[in-house]
Chain A
């Protein structure tokens, strides 16, 4: 029981981090029909920026904000400078482009910041809370991670569902040509979307680093598992992506805890294949009603 609780808390915590990556991937996929394979590497980079700031006597919270801001600029810049010029070409071009960016970032980061494994500070204790004599298996930092992820997801939900600019972004994502006829600058909406997605990624990067340390490809697994979660849920469904990613976090945690930590990725693979064989478009895929 004790093991189960520990594994569950671990799984949920990392699940929420994967969920942010998954959500970033889905946001971009819905708007641009691109999987941004560099999403993780971009987050790694902004985490290095935050660490750089911290090493130069910037407080943790300011560095935190700097990372998110850098993420926005980074994401928007990638859309403008790299993605925009090849919009509309064969999908494989976009795949190679973002993979190229992934490779480039993972090579440039050690050149700039050093290739060694670095520790990254956590703003709250990572030691489990005890209430009286009973251990709770959850640390203040775990709570912070989950709360931050939930808050950001809530903010995004409000942003997309309740604000005009969110509505414009959705229109631009679903029907770009119609959106233009309604006066919406679709290009700007895409840039904004990439920027916001990268903010999510940057948040994931800063939240995951205290646990797994910071090194040039420290986000590879988060990308793969976030992507796995997004696929499980169905790439067009934000709710599905979050759910899928949390399931991935839990399954990996249980597999790692009960069967051996080497088997985590294998567990992810088996689960993904099993789900895709039953539902090739993910669990939350919906057929557009009344339209082909």
Chain B
């Protein structure tokens, strides 16, 4: 369970996130929607400790993350797929995956975690030894998600995973994500520009605008709210 309470972040004088609160229960997906510059990336970066919050708190299963370094937060089970995928292109596919499961108990667990990743995303299996630089954009996006999942996280933060993915692949990945959230008891926070596909998989949805929450509801209800769609989601 991820709990964000009254989170405020500012870059110098610019307030990018203004008292945002939200909860992502286990085995569920919450999507955060909003226009460019709404503060979505800032939200996930604050959760994973990459930017310091000015106020408010973040908790994972009751543990307060406030003030912790990102590497500690990561080891507590928060996996973050950053905007623009964050695959390390100088390393091979396999090495990227191995980096995902650095903190799993034994060598066998780690091997199992990488093998699972290949099962989840078969195209990656054929590219184990290839430098990630040589993967296609979609493959890199898959690798990034697979790497995050290999950590066996409790909380998964996805910042615009749809970027550069073909609609078919996207639909597949979203479907998998839904299954995984259920089967692994994951709390997923899904940042999306592509509101339609995000709303189709999410349980809950939150709309951000200029750093504040302007709407929150069950995803399917929010998807039906015409005025909201026109005002913030553009479809």
Given A171-B91, A290-B89, A182–B50 Cβ distance below 8 Å?
Answer: no
Smallest Cβ-Cβ distance to B107: which chain A residue: A164
Residues in A148-165 with C-beta less than 8 Å from chain B = 164
Cβ-defined contact, A181 with B103, below 8 A: no
A237 to chain B, nearest CB (A): 11
A177 to B49, CA, bound (A): 11
B107 to chain A, nearest CB (A): 10
Cβ-defined contact, A184 with B102, below 8 A: yes
- Give chain B's interface residue range (CB within 8 Å of chain A): 20 to 34
Cβ-defined contact, A171 with B99, below 8 A: yes
A178 interface hit (Cβ, 8 Å): yes
With a CB–CB cut-off of 8 A, which chain B residues contact A174? 88, 90-91
A interface majority secondary structure? helix
A104 interface hit (Cβ, 8 Å): no
Of A164, A289, A290, the residue contacting B102 (CB under 8 A) is A164
Chain A binder among B69-77, B182-190, B193-201, B202-210: B69-77
B interface majority secondary structure? mixed
Smallest Cβ-Cβ distance to A170: which chain B residue: B91
Residues in B90-107 with C-beta less than 8 Å from chain A = 90-91, 95, 98-100, 102-103
Write out, one digit per residue, whether chain B residues 46-72 have a CB within 8 A of any chain A CB (1) or not (0): 001010000000000000000001111
Cβ-defined contact, A181 with B98, below 8 A: no
With a CB–CB cut-off of 8 A, which chain B residues contact A178? 82, 86, 88
Cβ-defined contact, A164 with B50, below 8 A: no
B175 interface hit (Cβ, 8 Å): no
With a CB–CB cut-off of 8 A, which chain A residues contact B80? 181
A170 to chain B, nearest CB (A): 7
With a CB–CB cut-off of 8 A, which chain B residues contact A126? none
Given A177-B50, A288-B133, A183–B75 Cβ distance below 8 Å?
Answer: yes
A167 interface hit (Cβ, 8 Å): yes
Write out, one digit per residue, whether chain A residues 233-251 have a CB within 8 A of any chain B CB (1) or not (0): 0000000000000000000
With a CB–CB cut-off of 8 A, which chain B residues contact A183? 71-72, 74-75, 102-103, 151
Q: Which residues of B contact A (CB under 8 A)?
A: 48, 50, 69-72, 74-75, 79-80, 82, 86, 88-91, 95, 98-100, 102-103, 131, 133-134, 147, 151
- A-B complex: 8 closest residue pairs judged by Cβ atoms: A183-B74, A180-B70, A289-B133, A183-B75, A178-B86, A181-B80, A174-B90, A180-B71
6 contacts between A and B (CB under 8 A): A168-B102, A170-B95, A171-B91, A177-B82, A183-B72, A288-B90
Q: Which residues of A contact B (CB under 8 A)?
A: 164, 167-168, 170-171, 174-175, 177-186, 288-291
